[in-house]
Amino acid sequence: MKKLNFISLTILVSLLSTNSFAAPKVYGKINIAADDGNGTDDYVNNASRLGVKGVLDLKNGLTGIYQVEYEIDPTDGKAQDEETVTLGTGETVVTKSAMVAKQRNSFVGLKGNWGTVKLGFHDTYLKLAQGKVDLFNDLRGDIKTTFSGEDRTSDFLGYESPVFGGGFQFKYNLSDGGSAANGGTGNRDAKAYAISYKTKKIYAAYASEDNSTKSSGEDHTRIVIQVPVGPVKIGFIDQESEIGSSKDDSTMFSIAWKATDKLTVKFQTMDKEDENGITQDDVTSFGIDYKLTKNVKLFFYDTEHEDGVISISNQPKDYTGIGIELKF
């Protein structure tokens, strides 16, 4: 990845060589729910975050962009708890260290009339192709509970074209295997691209990823669409994945009804089947959002997750929660 390091240095020098630094914007989100999961009551953090971002006016029609964002947890102060695993020898090793803050999309980049280049730690464009079809993003019914390929990778180099043809955009990214904390190996070049079409009414996308940063080197293709029907938005995602020697197909159907300016009712169902048609995951969610102000909402959700074949020792998990989200 020496080329990526050289590009990174070039971008940084370009940014620092200008005196036109604008004041950065501090932003964030606090999302906490009182959650009853299989009879266990707890307060859960739903990807609360704090970040800073900004733009810099450069010469020759260029704009510098930057963002540093971290997940925080107002419930217990740890965005990531320590995780351990016991080896066959009986030795216990730490696989993930405890973190007060966990890095999210953080990057530096350049933007011009030719498009945007980003370098840093970032969601793959396969992941971002989901748009807003996932109505329970960051909650118990998040798309990542069923779909593979929901990755954020290190050594990310991405290109985003300008919007053309009335709503089309092309995105392409490379990454270097990802960090161990992300399940990667650091020795595999991964790539993903997405073609999307977005207007005020419709969103559609096709995305593909080869040799993902996961240790098994996953390949994915994803089709996404979301359309309005009066006050209702209907969304659909279909993804085919090759994970090692196995294959599976994941689908999502979501529907959001904006009953009033403040009240939205949501339903979403997801399913994953292997190549033999056997269900591996089945997640169904129902929810209600109520806006108190533009940046504050109350929400309710009920999610049932069936993980693989149901048996006496493997029963569906049911989660019910009520919470508040504040953006700033």
How far, in Å, CA of 191 to CA of 172, rounded?
7
Backbone angles phi, psi at 155, to 5 degrees: 50, 45
User: Residue 211: what pLDDT?
Assistant: 82
12 pLDDT more than 60: no
For the segment 200-214, the average pLDDT, to the nearest whole number, is 90
> Domain count of the chain?
1
Q: For residue 182, what pLDDT is reported? A: 44
At 215-258, the pLDDT tens digits run 667 899 999 999 999 999 999 999 999 987 889 999 999 999 99
Give the model's confidence band at 37: pLDDT under 50 very low, under 70 low, under 90 confident, else very high.
Answer: confident
Cα–Cα distance between 328 and 325 in angstroms, integer? 10
**∠ CA(151), CA(155), CA(6), 5° rounding?**
160
pLDDT band at 296 (very low <50, low <70, confident <90, very high): very high
Task: Name the residue among 326, 322, 327 with its Cα closest to residue 44.
Answer: 322
Q: What band does 152 get if pLDDT is binned at 50, 70 and 90? A: very high
Nearest to 213 by CA among 190, 196, 242, 192: 190
Say which CATH number the domain at 49 has.
2.40.160.10
**Residue showing tokens 């993003």:** 137
Condensed to tens digits (0 to 9), the pLDDT of residues 80-121 reads 888 888 887 878 888 788 888 999 999 999 999 999 999 999
280 or 14, greater pLDDT: 280
Phi, psi (5° rounding) for residue 163?
-70, 135
Contact 143, 253 (CB under 8 A): no
Q: Exposure of 40 by Cβ count < 10 A (0-12 exposed, 13-18 middle, 19+ buried)?
A: exposed
- This prediction has a pTM of 0.86
Residue 180: its pLDDT value, please? 45
Which residue range(s) make up the domain with 255? 2-327
**15, 66 contact by CB (below 8 A):** yes
Confidence of residue 315 (pLDDT cuts 50, 70, 90): low
